[in-house]
Structure 1
Amino acid sequence: MPTTPSDLFREGIRLLLADDVTSWADLFAEDGVAEFPFAPAGYPRRVEGRTAISAYLRGLGENIAYQDFPHLVIHETAAPETIVVEMRATGRATATNAPFDMTYIAVITAEDGRFTHYRDYWNPLDIPGALQEAVGA
């Protein structure tokens, strides 16, 4: 099991690229929280608990096939349990095979080898039309 927040995050990326969303969700603490401050109407802004996060991520995995993270920068912070991540993900919207290309900034806290708080500042304006239709946004 990864021991630092950076290692844990890199393991999460590996799992997403392997299309293993279930194991990605298992990286969260039982009482972990995922937040999406810029989520548009129809998308959750806060998901609490590993079970709920797993359900949310399963829906994501059914709609997006990640192919690469061509830009990934992890910034360590003065708080050893917190990192800030800049990344870009590419892939395909599974319903239409349309390209998916999204940039993110995330503020992540991890303790005892699990994500405890994952605040994801994704840009809802970058959601491809095909994906919006698939998830009902």
Structure 2
Amino acid sequence: MSASPRTARDLFEESLRRLLAKDMTGYAALWAADGVFEFPFAPANYPTRLVGRSAVEDYLRGYPDLLDVREITECTVHETADPDVVVAEFEAAGRVVATGRPYRMRYVAVVTARDGEITRYRDYWSPLAGAELMGGLDELTSAFATTGAQA
């Protein structure tokens, strides 16, 4: 008897474990080959949509060099009427690597899964909060534009 595929909740929870482990390759491996990662609130000059597991991996490769996420301080996962979709509210905390400043930011994610892989992940983060954490809009733009990662 084969195991059931991972659910959207399972995949979201595993994504947080991989984020804390700074395993961006493993994080991206949770995506379907043609999965989509969207940033509906992305500021100008930031991608709003990544298509494909390899694009997700390329985008997140430098993330641990920018933000040292050490804990998820709050997390609530809401089931939806669609069993393949969850909505997660969470807060990540750690430090900004370049400055050593504390990092604490709230997120809302809408995760869709099919066949045990993430097919769509909408990441609602605040560019204003990100700019404040990084020391200003210029610092945010510079840090994340050069690595491809995003707060």
Do they fold alike, i.e. is TM over 0.5?
yes
* 1:55 and 2:58 aligned: yes
TM-score with structure 2 setting the length: 0.84
2:143 is aligned to 134
Write the distance in 2 (CA, Å) between the matches of 1:62 and 1:102.
17
Detail structure 1 runs of 4+ shifted over 2 Å in the superposition. 59-62, 133-137
Q: Which position in structure 2 is the counterpart of 1:43?
A: 46
TM-score normalised by the chain length of structure 1: 0.92
Matched to 1:22, the amino acid is: T
Match of 1:76 in 2: 79
CA distance in 2, matches of 1:77, 1:135: 32
Which among 21, 24, 28 is matched to residue 25 of structure 1? Answer: 28
- 2-side partners of 1:119 and 1:16: how far apart? 16
- The residue matched to 2:61 in structure 1 has which SS? helix
Which residue does 1:6 correspond to in 2? 9
Q: Is the Cα contact below 8 Å between 2:38 and 2:48 reproduced in 1?
A: yes
Q: Distance in 1 between matches of 2:73 and 2:82?
A: 27
- For the residue of structure 2 that corresponds to 1:29, the secondary structure is strand
Q: What per-residue deviation string (whole Å, max 9, x for no partner) do you get for residues 35-92 of structure 1? A: 0010001221111111111111113232111111111000011101000000111111
Count the aligned residue pairs: 137
Quick one: percent identity of the two aligned structures? 47
- Alignment map for 1:98-137 (pairs within 5 Å): 98-127=101-130, 128-130=133-135, 132=140, 133-136=142-145
Secondary structure of the structure 2 residue equivalent to 1:84:
strand
Gaps of 5+ in 1: none
- Taking only aligned residues, the RMSD between alpha carbons, in angstroms, comes to 1.7
Matches of 2:83 and 2:51, distance apart in 1:
23
Q: Determine which structure has more spread, i.e. the larger CA radius of gyration.
A: 2
